Structure 1
Amino acid sequence: RQLGADVLLNVQAEDVDAAIGERTDGMGADVVFECSGAAPSARNCLQWVRRRGRYVQVGLFSQPIQWDQNQICYKEVQLSGSFATIPSSWQKALRLLAHGQVQTAPLITHTWALAEWQAAFDTFERREGLKNVFLPG
């Protein structure tokens, strides 16, 4: 909510299908972002997006996934990807951060000294927190 979200849903603790249906009168979400790169999440997002909605794939998959691509046609979904590896993308991101137009601090859940690398990696492997950051020096 600190970042402007109206509604937060925890897929591990809530019936997301019901919550989205209730909030959208059964129409589905206007826009879905899949940021994890997990196949079940991609399948869920494709299910949750409304007819003529927009699906944005941000997370990268470790291997090819199986999902019902017919749904893209049946629902006339706008599908797009995001891959920020060109210098202009990074420059734009840094400008947005420098001018305070994007807040990232609320996303950081753990900070670590470099000497604490093992604890940091263990935390990551347990999938705890959202963003782990090493602090140099």
Structure 2
Amino acid sequence: MKLDEFTIGDLFTTHRYKVTEADIMSFAKTYDPQYMHLDKEKAQQGRFNGLIASGIHTLSISFKLWIEAGKYGEDVIAGTHMNHIKFIKPVFPDDELQTVVEVLKKIPNKKDQGLLTVLLTTFNQHEDKVFVGELTALIKR
């Protein structure tokens, strides 16, 4: 969709994504090698009573789900920034995540492009909010 096709307040709901223990550990080994993501025994003794996904992993899944919804398509030029990122609840192995995306703002800045800001809100299978964050991208008009 082009910038002009989005309307402030539009809501889009993504498909679900099941997070596996293998996903959590693989991501963490590369990008966030902390014990709560990699060491099952130590994580079991910690605050969350088991392995949890990295917040950055949760953000990445949320973004993946939004992109796979196909709304940007070929009209996206580049991401420009993220704001107000919050990791609200932990994501555990076998959680199923789904993201609701709300159009917050659109700013035409040139004849053929502009900025689109959306709010990503991600929920687990219990409808618990696990992540929120604003994402702004440069989009063709």
- TM-score, structure 1 as length reference: 0.22
* Structure with the higher helix share, 1 or 2: 1
- TM-score, structure 2 as length reference: 0.22
Using CA pairs below 8 Å that are at least 6 residues apart, which structure has the higher relative contact order?
2
* Structure with the higher strand share, 1 or 2: 2
